[in-house]
Structure 1
Amino acid sequence: GSPDDPKSFAAMRYTESRLTKYADTLLGELGQGTVDWVPNFDGTLEEPSILPARLPNLLLNGTTGIAVGMATDVPPHNLREVANACIHLLENPKANVAELCEYIQGPDFPTEAELITPRADLIKMYEQGRGSLRMRAVYQQDSGDIVVTALPHQASGAKVLEQIAAQMQAKKLPMVADLRDESDHENPTRLVIVPKSNRVNVESLMNHLFATTDLEKTYRVNMNMIGVDGRPQVKALDKMLSEWLAWRSETVRRRLQHRLDKVLSRLHILEGLMIAFLNIDEIIEIIRTEDKPKPILMERFGLSDIQAEAILDLKLRHLAKLEEMKIRSEQDELESERNSLELILGSEKRLKTLIKKEI
């Protein structure tokens, strides 16, 4: 697509998206017991009810939408700034919006135009969850000409030129002699405004254009979102991030618990296999002579149902001498993993450190 025509992109069926590293931070932990799965629209598949995002995606990507009786407009933000704010809030849960704004300087739109909203207004916007932003094109002077190098988010260069040309035709811009669009591959935005003479006051001319064209745009901010409780609400920045962090802690805890359960069940099976190796001749004898060897094995060696099943499923080639070494080394590995998982799950501080590292 081209920035001049917002609807010029190819249809969905012609575009292809590849999972990038960023998508991995959203989806990477899906298979690890982190989220609940629900039936999809026609009940043939399961889908996650929510994504185990490793970063607060709503703030990073921003969103805008309307529903019945309510609307939302969340501007996009810088990834590193948001990550640092989350870490600060994790370490200081009582941090207020002004402190978080030390990290999050303001929204971060995809274009390089300037946000000219005063800082006090930005902080107020984050405290109340609603407000407005102003963005202004960036220009420089190049041997008497005015060159615009960056337009506000979603402003079209062609439309800006039309707006200026219309004023020139209506004789409202006597100080402008010519307009050129020099945008090309290297300079995606390069609009050239040629003043009548070098006596024209560039600043007052540009202020007039900012007021009358899309060289300056205002954006609505209304941070209305569905919270952890499932209800829509306009949230302040600190509330939004602390809610996300609480949810993230729960997600990480679930992931660790899921892994711990797997480790414990594998250790349980290995224990049974170890008993089998130490009494291999007797076990083979029981399997050869008994009609139903499973209950007898369970009684004779004090095995559980799962362990006995695992022994009966053993392949002959796994009876080699080296297998015992393999089992012992796997046991050692899993035991050390179990210990570290239990340590993290048992200590809020370690859990916090882990979440911080992952952010």
Structure 2
Amino acid sequence: MTETVPFPQDRTCPYQPAPGYRPLAERRPISQITLYDGRRAWAVTGHELTRRLLTDPRISSDRTDPGWPMVSAAAAVEFNDVQQKVVKLLTALVGVDGPKHRARRKLAQAGFTVRRIDSLRPKIQEIVDQRLDAMLEHGAPADLAAMFASPVPLMALCETLGIPHEDQEYFERKAHQILFGPDAAAAYDELMAYLGKLIEKARRHPGEGFLEALLAERGDSTEVDHEEILQMFLIVLVTGHDTTSSSIALGAYTLLQHPERLAELRADPSLWPAAVDELTRLVAVPDGLQRVAAEDIEVDEETTIHEGDGVFFLFSLINRDKDAYERPDSLDWHRPAFRDHLTYGFGPHQCVGMNLARVIMEIAFRTLFERLPGLRLAVPAKEVPVKPGEAFQGLVELPVTW
């Protein structure tokens, strides 16, 4: 049997696959990996096979399945009652299949219409300008990750959800306590009460926000499931923030390492929408999407994914499949189909907020490099610390000067 590759592994270059994944690239489109506890799972690395499997109902997102693969001992710990409730909230959309998933996805999509996202552009621009003003006032050097890449999507997402500016710090703090704090139960109760007030306000003075869209999707019923609303708020805030902030930091780092490509974008800002997707393809923040096989799946004559097997989708390799992309390791936003990457997933579980993420990144990148033409790393590129491979890919910090 072919020797398996340990998974996950850390990147050494922030926008390149982990060097230890090279054998997986050579064995495309699928091969076995070994997890932290010795258990074997499957690593999908082929573009076409990824599209096929992510639309196969036998590939399950059910995190309660006993075969669900864990990436580390920390991820496999037993949760207390409150933590289990929080995990249930956060996986209410991404951790279920079939009719239940379709119903919840329909609810979430109500808040992400193209018209609504376009209407948020002026406010997102205002947020980006405010954060750059604060960074300039702070002076160089500065941590671009902490001062810009992280707060911009957080504030934009709060605006999307309809959380008033004066309440955003409170909501963020309570959401963090629910996820990581010792007072999770109290924070949960506080947020439920707060959402009750927001719901009542939205009914008295309806606008065109995310909450009003959720309420409209539920019709005229006077009975609103507050926990269902909290689910959607936390899913949007948690999953949307980390991936978008990491993409901004990694994307900025990547562009600073490709000055000739950055010069092209500065000369022609109309290229930014395509550049955002090309950067998203190359940096592949959600590298290692987890699934479990609900039934046996015959991939080819030699490979069968058995029921209960864990399956990981490695987007850093999938997005560099030579059968799908010409010169896949290059940064090229002139590709014929620049959105034909799979970083946002594919099929029924494709990221519902991907168009909002695109708008946030487009405005953030364009404004950042327009206002700071001399932006550059404040330390050697090799000294920029990279997050562990078991989480979303990203940078611990990004020291810059200008």
Give the TM-score of the pair, scaled to structure 1.
Answer: 0.25
Flag the structure with more relative contact order, 1 or 2, with Cα contacts below 8 A and sequence separation at least 6. Answer: 2
If you compute each CA radius of gyration, which structure gives the higher value, 1 or 2?
1
